[in-house]
Amino acid sequence: MRTKTFYIIANSDKDENLELARGVRDYLEQKGAKGVIRAGEQERTEDYADLPDDTCGILVLGGDGTLLRAARELAGRSIPFLGINLGHLGYLAEIERQNVRPALDSLIAGGYTVEERMMLRGVVHSGGKLVTEDVALNDIVLNRCGSLRVVDYKVYVNGEYLNSFTADGMIVSTPTGSTGYSLSAGGPIVSPTASMLVLTPICPHTLNSRSIVFSGEDRIRIEIGEGRRGGPDEACATFDGDTCIPMRTGDYVEIGRSAEVTYILKINQVSFLEVLRNKLSRS
């Protein structure tokens, strides 16, 4: 029987001296599997050159942010992730530190299921040119930058004008991201395996602005409107809270479902509602 190989990505801020990562590797080897700890201090694309071709799972030690970054950097590899939570509140990282060994036993024995999570692809246009194209597992956010004032965001769906929102920012999230920033901004919680886009304004300056849920096949375009007195305004686009892209009046981002997906290994056979209930009771 072929040895199972697992790639270990650890957040060194939460796993000091990679102590847990080494413990996970050693335990895997005791059980007849193989563990490879990611080389390098920063989770960036070039650091994954040591990813073995026969990797059957990626173990992420940290919090949801660590897993989100890894999912973006490794998009398109079709290797499932298992999150081991070393943070405070993990929705993606479902395994707690004290349950690592039983989880590894289940993983080696094949006692798991795999969930498919949709991702977003955002294309940022600035000055009439495409400047950035990237993916996100949680959300793509447009937010104000510079002075503390609201921004006018013009929203189009499938080429049709929807509305202008005067707000601090706009969030387009996946179902996975519905329990993140979107939830904090008053958005709905969506079952993570669903296929849809959630549009949520951040601190809108109106009493009737609410989140809007669209089909996963829809395309959303958000354009930066004019500033006060018709002058230019500034904002920035972020992908899963990373890679801030500066934008100005007239610039826009087009957001839709990505061809890439993220696969999540599920060890605990508990429902989404049970996980949600436990997380909400701790928050």
Could you list the active site residues? 64
Q: What distance in Å separates the CA atoms of residue 233 and residue 282, rounded to the nearest whole number?
A: 40
Q: What distance in Å separates the CA atoms of residue 96 and residue 87, rounded to the nearest whole number?
A: 9
| Residue 227 in tokens | 């500033």
Q: Across the chain, which distance is largest between two alpha carbons, in Å?
A: 71
CB 253 within 8 A of CB 237: yes
CB 180 within 8 A of CB 190: no
Q: What distance in Å separates the CA atoms of residue 17 and residue 13, rounded to the nearest whole number?
A: 9
Q: What distance in Å separates the CA atoms of residue 192 and residue 117, rounded to the nearest whole number?
A: 7
